[in-house]
Structure 1
Amino acid sequence: MKTSLSNEETLQAPISSGFGPQTTAQEVVGDLDLTGKIVIVTGGYSGIGLETSRVLAEAGATVIVPARTPEKARAAVANIPRLELEALDLMDPASIDGFAQRFLESGRPLHMLINSAGIMAAPLSRDARGYESQFATNHLGHFQLTARLWPALRQAGNARVVSVSSRAHRMGGVDFSDPNFEHREYDKWQAYAQSKSANVLFAVALDTKGRAHGVRAFSVHPGLIPSSDVGRFLTEEDVAPKPVLQNEQVKPAVEGKGEYLKSTSQGASTNVWCAVSPQLEGLGGVYCEDADIAEAVPADSLQGTGVRPWAINSEYAEQLWQLSEKLTGVKFDL
């Protein structure tokens, strides 16, 4: 398990940030002035993505939100200042390239890229290339998007890329021999776990390759958020037993308890912390939760918190990078 790293890498261990499960995204930002910062938030028009967009924009940043159907997203973001809506479908390589090209043509640097969009436990479907939808949307689409936006990230001089993962990575890693379920029976939860492990591994590899260019990368478990749109495919059987609510309010998160439900604002806090916190200056390549770096735990750990060894293994991270280049046909201009 990768827990002790070179001097240039970050130890996968909490840094006592002073935050926790109850911390909100607004509390993380505090009085930071993000005027002049350019941010892209995929999935930034619903759930924790919307809250991430709102908090960063209200702190002064210009936020670009790419959406598969911008007209549907317009109402959700109508009252957020300095927010630009764009078109992007993460299952469509041409759409990814088109969005990235339009942004690059604007000549602007990209200070923060928050890859928050995703699907969970979806029934088996494939993109036009034949790739399984959760792996294609949650990982491959964001891999290609990040690669295409690389010139703008480098231009920023001090950029951060945040990959929104999940504690579901603990259910399994990437099957490098059959990532698209072509030779094994499809299991929606194994497919989701694979895509979320891929999000963590992508951050490990991207940080290793990007730090020399001023780009640092992080992965995030937001927490359990019952109002999140990512669960739109879930059945009653998937969510049973139902979460306990108190007077229709989310049961508050409690320090040290990784199983408690979070509000949307609490769920967005780690996204925002990884994107803007001065506490992370000079750090990267780590999996974070509850607005802190998470603990590395053994593969057989039964706790809900922490990151499993297969998700932070540098050899697996490089193997995934090579696989992703092969499947997308896209390479970073490093």
Structure 2
Amino acid sequence: MTQFDAKSTADDVLAGVDLTGKLAIVTGGASGIGLATTRALARAGATVVAAVREPGAVSLDFAEARRLDLADLAQVAEFAAGFGTVDLLIANAGVMACPETRVGPGWELQFAVNHLGHFALVHHLFPALARSGSARVVVVSSNVRPDAPIRWDDPFFVAEPYDRWAAYGQSKAANALFAAHLDVLGRPHGIRASSVHPGAILTPLQRHLTRAEMIEAGWIDEQGNAADYFKTPEQGAATQVWAAVQPDLGGVHCSDCAVTPFRPSSSDAARLWTMSTTLTGLLS
């Protein structure tokens, strides 16, 4: 039974937790809930690396910013090569509902960044995570439906017209499936992995949505005020830091600082892992 809930903040969760000597990586760690996560982990004593696309554009006095573009697999490999031991990895960076954009060999951007970039990052960091002996990987997903589909035959919307929300939903379903299978493969090496739904938070993630779209969706009112159910970035960061410090937690999906009933399909998780190794050319 957790003592935290939807209103808890990352600092609430980490109160009394000592992460001194731990190395944490937070992708997208300089804005939105990623920034709140970075700050909270640093306050708890961790050495934190914020992986961001443009380190020169951010100013962090409590963490180190390093360049990482998850859409560039060569850069992902270069970034990961600089680590000896990694204790915590928060796969937080993401893109939502963007216009149709192609990267690399024609990959759709949301699937490429939200899933394949993090898949490649974990592949390259696996030895460093294993050296920790008790590493935790937390993958930021969403409010995933049990039947959320992976477009196995057309993940990049080549055969059918691009749908930005379907693409986003697929990438978030992939996040949950990825964490589930990573936990299976990582457990013998002391690596545990979980996925989380951080809740609804107004952050730069909504950069591709118009004000009118967010009003129509009920996310904000005419004055720009967020709906009552929206969290602050500090509250949105709570579940991912909670999952990162729970002993023996792995293979689950979490929300509001608690484990949800949702369990990703183990067969789909294994199938996605195989597909991801083929697409990236990275062997498991």
| TM-score computed with the length of structure 2 as normaliser | 0.95
Mapped to 2, the partners of 1:171 and 1:47 lie a distance apart of 28
Change (3 A) 1:137 1:62: same
Gaps of 5+ in 1: 1-15, 253-259, 297-308
Partner of 1:87: 67
Mapped to 2, the partners of 1:168 and 1:225 lie a distance apart of 16
Structure 2 residue 134 is the aligned partner of structure 1 residue 134:
no
Partner of 2:242: 273
Counterpart of 2:38, as a letter, is S
Contact in 1 for aligned 2:95/2:205 (Cα 8 Å) = yes
Contact in 1 for aligned 2:214/2:220 (Cα 8 Å) = no
Deviation at 1:282, TM superposition (A): 2.0
Deviation at 1:180, TM superposition (A): 0.8
Structure 2 residue 268 is the aligned partner of structure 1 residue 316:
yes
Contact in 1 for aligned 2:194/2:249 (Cα 8 Å) = no
Contact in 2 for aligned 1:24/1:265 (Cα 8 Å) = yes
Partner of 1:57: 42
1, 8, 11: which one aligns with 1:26: 11
Counterpart of 1:284, as a letter, is G
Mapped to 2, the partners of 1:331 and 1:39 lie a distance apart of 25
Mapped to 1, the partners of 2:162 and 2:31 lie a distance apart of 28
- Between 163-172 and 142-151, the greater mean CA deviation after superposition: 163-172
Mapped to 1, the partners of 2:103 and 2:231 lie a distance apart of 32
Partner of 1:331: 283
Gaps of 5+ in 2: none
Deviation at 1:179, TM superposition (A): 0.6
118, 124, 130: which one aligns with 2:94: 118
Deviation at 1:237, TM superposition (A): 4.5
Structure 2 residue 170 is the aligned partner of structure 1 residue 201:
no
Change (3 A) 1:231 1:168: farther
Deviation at 1:243, TM superposition (A): 3.1
Mapped to 1, the partners of 2:195 and 2:185 lie a distance apart of 15
Contact in 2 for aligned 1:25/1:265 (Cα 8 Å) = yes
Instruction: Encode CA deviations 1:61-120: one digit per residue, 9 max, x unaligned.
Output: 0001111111012x2x23x2xx111111100011101101122xxx3x110010000000
Deviation at 1:55, TM superposition (A): 0.4
Counterpart of 1:135, as a letter, is F
1:232-247 mapped onto 2 (5 Å cutoff): 232-241=207-216, 242-243=218-219
Counterpart of 2:15, as a letter, is G
Aligned length: 283
Find runs of 4+ consecutive structure 1 residues off by over 6 angstroms: none
Contact in 2 for aligned 1:220/1:289 (Cα 8 Å) = yes
Partner of 1:182: 158
> Aligned Cα RMSD in Å?
1.9
Q: Secondary structure at the match of 2:86?
A: coil
Q: Secondary structure at the match of 2:155?
A: coil
1:277-288 mapped onto 2 (5 Å cutoff): 277=246, 281-288=247-254
Instruction: Encode CA deviations 1:154-199: one digit per residue, 9 max, x unaligned.
Output: 0000000000011165783211111111111110000000000000
Change (3 A) 1:229 1:98: same
Aligned-residue sequence identity (percent) comes to 46
Mapped to 2, the partners of 1:20 and 1:250 lie a distance apart of 19
Contact in 2 for aligned 1:169/1:193 (Cα 8 Å) = no
| TM-score computed with the length of structure 1 as normaliser | 0.81
Change (3 A) 1:172 1:236: farther
Deviation at 1:134, TM superposition (A): 0.1
Counterpart of 1:20, as a letter, is D
